[in-house]
Structure 1
Amino acid sequence: MSFSPIPSDFYGFENQLTDPEKAHLMRLREYLERDVKPIVNDYWNRDEFPTEIIKGLADVQAVGLGWEETRPFENSAVFRGWVALEMARVDASVGTYVGVQNGLVMGTVGVCGSAEQRAEWLPKFASGEVVGAFGLTEPLSGSDSAQGLRTTARRDGEQWVLNGAKRWIGNATFNDVTIIWAKDVADDQVKGFLVDTGSEGYAATKIENKQSLRIVQNADITLENVVVPETMRLQKANSFKDTASVLRLTRADVAWAAVGNAIGAYEAAVRYAGDREQFGRPIGGHQLVQDLLVKSLGNITASLALVVQVSRMLDEGTQRDEHSALAKAFTTARMRETVAWCRELFGGNGIVTDYDVIRHFADAESLYSYEGTREMNTLIVGRSITGQAAFV
């Protein structure tokens, strides 16, 4: 299969990938276009997740690219960003499933697990044999998780007892294992645990009535005296700094996903501009329509330049919190503008899922908010600029 960059990559950033990376990206693109894109509107409308694609995503190795135990070939953070973009370009919900499984769950085990835990769990997550979820956010704790975490962990011999609640946990209605972050009552430090969802006292309830990322199955989780063996405590997760190390990796991927979601809306708009006729010709021949498309492409191109560079910095080992924070804040804001312009181009047709754009428009709201709101990421960058913390 020959490599063909997407037209919305206007400056050709994809051409900087290695040949094996290009080949892998093309296999993923073909699978998504053939097996995922035709079904996503139906599942989005039904507020359900297509569990049948879990094996397909594992077969095309969309999961596990970044870890020695599971990666199919040497690849860069820039390439892994393109994978996140490609997923969201087709559907941000499916991209979120992979982001949770690949980034938050495998990222936590990869960063915070012992060598034995990595060897045991990373291949299971990569193959889809075990589906994971990431339990950090709580009903009363979101942006202030570093200080405000209320879920507790108490050691009792060679086991731990967890109590508390989590909210907005993706994949959590059908997963096998949830990573639960809890404060140790002995030292008040945050620790991480791999919790079997079949454990006594563990319950997950689907959050209903969502109008964004509807395919993602988010849940409220309650933990009532859930017993977890010491062997399931992540051995290198000993404070919130370790949690933040995971989020630093995945925040850049969310920035890539924001660009992908904007591209999905833009490409739908370009197709529509060529097909829809008014006043005797395609609307793409009208100046104001072209203005919307050019502004959208400008946002996409600027955002692509930013995420490519932040991932290069990750490859070089020079990326810091403020770098990924700026990427997430900037790209999600530009995405929000872009999907609005693209939906505008459709007129009334833009509010039905038949034309795809409204799905990207609605899903943008979740990408804008999760893994650090624009405001929180702005404060991280602002602290770097001024040397002054303005969080409270």
Structure 2
Amino acid sequence: MDLPATQYTPASFSPEQVAMRDHFRKYMMAEIDPHTAALEAGENPYPLMKKMVGDLGLAGDADKLEKTGGVKSDTDAADRPNDPDTAALMRFARTQVQIELARVNPGFAMSWGASVGLFGSNVRSKGTPDQIKKYVPDVMRGEKTGSWCLTEPGAGSDAFGSMKTSARPDGDDYVLNGSKTFITNAPYADVFLVYARNTEDGSIQAFIVERGFKGVDTSKPFDKMGMKSSPTGQVFLDDVRVPAENLLGGGMKDRDHVRKSLASERIGIAVLSYAIAERCYDIAVDYAKTREQGGQAIGHYQLIQNRLARMYVDLSNARRIVYSSEEMDILDACAGKLFVAEAGTRVAMESIHILAGNGYMSEYVVERLARDAKLLELGGGTTEIQIITIGKAIMAG
């Protein structure tokens, strides 16, 4: 499949990075994009997700995790590239495949990220060997779908302080009661990472809950403004008996691991927002160069150039955050998410303005991307929460 005539390509990209970008882009345009209309109409995305993982080899070391029983072996370090350039290219590949997927369908990308990232990566990094072996490989391969369950009807921004979902110790089990809402993949997920308050000591703990456990139920997919390719819903827990062996990592009562998960989620949201901005910018530039009014392309008018220039400024600054090789703590993750999410919405709305009436029509992709972009200012903590978190950290530092 031919790529668009105009593509934003950062000057810093090496030939290897451009080739990798183009490889992923061609695949997403050929294999994912044709399904977008059906996915937006409610088609189950997970079989296509499994195919994508297999086609692009995105399951990572799932086979190795099964063979080692989830235990990190002495060969793990040897598997990591010693060459800094190779390591950097691998980091680039992980980011780029998410960007190319989100350029085509942000909702599909969000569902995949929630499954392999918020569920899979959490269990892999914090779970016991048995938990890793049992749950992570299938999720990495796309054979099962994971979900991360923190938000509640009355506990959104104040997820810890207002959490009502309870976990009561009972012999060798815990009994969970409560509900979660706005949960990505909830309507179809096979496994859930559920955060609940221990009734004995008040600590917040994470439990791996399987759909087949008695008392687990989920809602139908919500009808949303955007991100329609990503099924979102509620999770209901009615006297769900969860074996103690499903307590993540054997039990972690500090909140640090949740903060790290939130940081990871916010970085992931920034990637999705950047992808939306980049695709909308490409479309707007193409349109400005080819759409003629008054005997010339509209891009030659200074007012259109002003819009394109501001879009480029947002895109350029967002790119430096998304492609950063630095490890981000919760403060920088909040700052990055705040800027890039708002930039994504700005660029999407500007692209609609440049396309004018065409941009407002549902058959033009910028209309859908603008609706998708808005959620990223809300999910993973609203703009206000990012500002509050940043402000408190500044004063505490």
Instruction: Give TM-score, length-normalised by structure 2.
Output: 0.86
1:30 aligns with 2:39: no
Question: Residues 88 and 264 of structure 1 are in contact (CA less than 8 Å); yes or no, is this contact kept in structure 2?
Answer: no
1:139-191: per-residue Cα shift (whole Å, max 9, x none)?
11111112111101111111111100000111111121111111111111111
**Which amino acid in structure 2 is aligned with residue 126 of structure 1?**
M
1:364, distance to aligned residue in structure 2 (A): 0.8
1:212 aligns with 2:217: no
- Residue correspondence of structure 1 range 293-308 to structure 2 within 5 A: 293-308=308-323
1:352, distance to aligned residue in structure 2 (A): 2.2
Question: Residues 151 and 183 of structure 2 are in contact (CA less than 8 Å); yes or no, is this contact kept in structure 1?
Answer: yes
Give the distance between the partners of 1:301 and 1:369, measured in 2 at CA: 23
Gap runs ≥5 in structure 1 = none
1:350 aligns with 2:345: no
1:197-224: per-residue Cα shift (whole Å, max 9, x none)?
1222111112433111111110111110
- Residue correspondence of structure 1 range 1-392 to structure 2 within 5 A: 7-12=7-12, 14-15=13-14, 19=16, 25-44=21-40, 46-59=41-54, 60-62=56-58, 64=60, 69=65, 75=87, 76-235=90-249, 236-309=251-324, 312-314=325-327, 319-387=328-396
Going from structure 1 to structure 2, the CA distance change for 1:278 and 1:69 (only over 3 Å counts) comes to: farther
1:347, distance to aligned residue in structure 2 (A): 1.1
Give the distance between the partners of 1:98 and 1:149, measured in 2 at CA: 26
- Partner of 1:360: helix, strand, or coil? helix
**Which amino acid in structure 2 is aligned with residue 39 of structure 1?**
H
Give the distance between the partners of 1:27 and 1:123, measured in 2 at CA: 25
**Which amino acid in structure 1 is aligned with residue 30 of structure 2?**
R
**Which amino acid in structure 2 is aligned with residue 277 of structure 1?**
E
1:83, distance to aligned residue in structure 2 (A): 2.7
Gap runs ≥5 in structure 2 = 67-75, 82-86
Equivalences, count: 376
Question: Residues 58 and 141 of structure 2 are in contact (CA less than 8 Å); yes or no, is this contact kept in structure 1?
Answer: no
**Which amino acid in structure 2 is aligned with residue 10 of structure 1?**
P
1:52, distance to aligned residue in structure 2 (A): 3.3
1:73, distance to aligned residue in structure 2 (A): 7.4
Instruction: Give TM-score, length-normalised by structure 1.
Output: 0.87
Higher relative contact order (CA 8 A, sep 6+): 1
Going from structure 1 to structure 2, the CA distance change for 1:41 and 1:289 (only over 3 Å counts) comes to: farther
- Partner of 2:144: helix, strand, or coil? coil
1:249-283: per-residue Cα shift (whole Å, max 9, x none)?
23212112111111122122223334433334433
1:68, distance to aligned residue in structure 2 (A): 8.1
Q: Please report the RMSD computed on the Cα atoms of aligned residues, expressed in angstroms.
A: 2.9
1:274-314: per-residue Cα shift (whole Å, max 9, x none)?
443333443333332222222111111111112223xx222
Give the distance between the partners of 1:380 and 1:37, measured in 2 at CA: 37
Q: Which moved more, 1:362-371 or 1:72-81?
A: 72-81
1:4-27: per-residue Cα shift (whole Å, max 9, x none)?
9x8323333x439xx5x7766544
Question: Residues 333 and 368 of structure 1 are in contact (CA less than 8 Å); yes or no, is this contact kept in structure 2?
Answer: yes
**Which amino acid in structure 1 is aligned with residue 271 of structure 2?**
W
- Partner of 1:369: helix, strand, or coil? coil
- Partner of 1:213: helix, strand, or coil? coil
**Which amino acid in structure 2 is aligned with residue 11 of structure 1?**
A
**Which amino acid in structure 2 is aligned with residue 53 of structure 1?**
L
Going from structure 1 to structure 2, the CA distance change for 1:252 and 1:282 (only over 3 Å counts) comes to: same
1:116-136: per-residue Cα shift (whole Å, max 9, x none)?
322332211111111111111
Going from structure 1 to structure 2, the CA distance change for 1:96 and 1:382 (only over 3 Å counts) comes to: same
Going from structure 1 to structure 2, the CA distance change for 1:68 and 1:383 (only over 3 Å counts) comes to: farther
